[in-house]
Amino acid sequence: MTDRGLIERHYEAVDEGLRLSKSRARKLEFDTTLHFLDKHMVPKATILELGAGRGAYSLHYARRGHRVLATDLLKANVQAIQEHLEDEGLTSIEVRQADATRLESLSDRDFQAVLCLGPYYHCRTREARRRCLLECRRVVADRGLVAVAYMNRHFAIGNLLQMGVTLRREHYESLLQVDNTRTDYPDSFFNIAHFTSPEAVEAEVRSCGFEVIEHVGSDGPYDYFPSALDALDEEAFYDFFSYHLKTCTQPGNRGASQHGLVLLRKV
């Protein structure tokens, strides 16, 4: 896993729950992920979420009657989820601080579903990513569901340019030939993230004993023009969202998306 201090400093200024809901383009990732998870989630499942952030997904499933263990590397995020539980009186969710690459306290095959919607792309070395994936495989039940989110390198440059981030040669080189050791990039997210490609992700998860059952471009290219989505009325947005769900599994849309999602079965 990437250095905890770097991750803490980056996320001190980020409310992950707000990030997933502050605009339609950002909420698109959340709603798309839920749509595909729900296709494969069994009723009243036992769910482990790794890197739960402020708990958007864990709270969603706990409110719907699933049994959830929400974990995060950062103490501040664990405390934030706990506060939500106390405010809502939820009893179907437990919260722990944990490193997704080291789950020694959890037993083999304990969960029907494992959500890894953040830790994988914070594992900057291949060794750390494999540890994360193999731990997911160990704790999920036979034929259980594992969901892994990743950051798409094809999207990164255009998005950063649009945001006004000044890119240097090292940014471009880090996406052409991944450098897992540098922590002095001008943009802080490059210091804590692994950018990959849809093809590389599929190869890596298969090498860890999974089969791919769905592969989704979670938010498509729509982060390039979020204001256009926000301007749609409810009916027009519903029509757009229906179209997005029918096309986001196409290879071209995976390549254009900032976030990718692979749904896996343990084999």
The closest of 5, 35, 13 to 244, measured between CA atoms, is 35
pLDDT of residue 178: 64
| pLDDT > 90 fraction of the chain, expressed in percent and rounded | 67
Match 């569901």 to its residue by tokens: 145
What local confidence, expressed as pLDDT, does residue 92 receive? 95
Give just the sign of the alpha carbon dihedral 123, 128, 130, 134: negative
Cβ density class 183-216: b for 16+ within 10 Å, e for less: eebeeeebbbbbbbbbeebbebbeebebeeebbb
Residue type at 152 in one-letter notation? N
The per-residue DSSP string of 173-221 comes to HHHHS--SS----SSGGGGT--EE-HHHHHHHHHHTTEEEEEEEESSTT
Could you give the number of structural domains in the chain? 1
- Cα angle 70-75-59, degrees, rounded to a multiple of 5: 30
Whether 1 shows a pLDDT value over 80: the answer reads no
What's the one-letter identity of residue 49? E
Find the Cα–Cα–Cα–Cα dihedral 178, 213, 31, 131, rounded to 10°.
-40
pLDDT for 202 equals 97
pTM, two decimal places: 0.91
Calculate the alpha carbon distances from 192 to 7, 34, 123, 164, 184 in Å.
6, 25, 8, 20, 10
CATH of the domain at 25: 3.40.50.150
C-alpha–C-alpha distance, residues 35 and 32, integer Å? 5
Q: Which of 21-35, 40-54, 83-97 has the lowest mean pLDDT?
A: 21-35
Domain span holding position 127: 4-266
- Residue bearing tokens 């990743």: 150
Question: pLDDT per residue over 172-202, tens digit each?
Answer: 877 777 666 666 666 777 778 888 899 999 9
State yes or no: pLDDT of 249 exceeds 80.
yes
pLDDT at 170: 77
